[in-house]
Amino acid sequence: MSVFDTTNSPETAKELSQQFKRYRIICGMTQKNLSDKTGVALRTITRFENGEEVGLFTFISLLKGVGLTHNLKDIVPDVSGDLPQRVRKNSKSCR
């Protein structure tokens, strides 16, 4: 079972930040390079890669910095169209 399948948000955030760090390194980018490219403070990048919380806009900026924004569309699927008039309690239509 993947850590992403758990409901433990801190554990999920830690794994996500570790995967991001590994990806950044594989891309040959230092934290300083990423900071210069994105305008995100070096200390903030260090905090994020250590599993600490950062804001959503910062997270998106970091993804842009390593070229991963194309994956954002997979986080929340596009459900264009009319919204239901009412939401049924305990609906199981989403995962």
pLDDT (0 to 100) of residue 55: 95
pLDDT (0 to 100) of residue 89: 66
Q: What does the domain layout of the chain look like in residue ranges?
A: 9-68
Residues 56-94 as b/e (b if ≥16 CB within 10 A, e otherwise) read: eebbebbbebbeeeeeeeeeeeeeeeeeeeeeeeeeeee
Superfamily for domain range 9-68: lambda repressor-like DNA-binding domains (1.10.260.40)
pLDDT (0 to 100) of residue 74: 82
> Taking the model in full, what pTM does it have?
0.77
d(CA 32, CA 40): 10
pLDDT in tens, the chain (95 residues): 565 666 688 888 899 999 999 999 999 999 999 999 999 999 999 999 999 999 999 999 999 999 999 888 888 877 777 777 776 666 555 55
pLDDT (0 to 100) of residue 49: 97
d(CA 86, CA 41): 44
d(CA 79, CA 18): 30
pLDDT (0 to 100) of residue 81: 76
d(CA 49, CA 41): 13
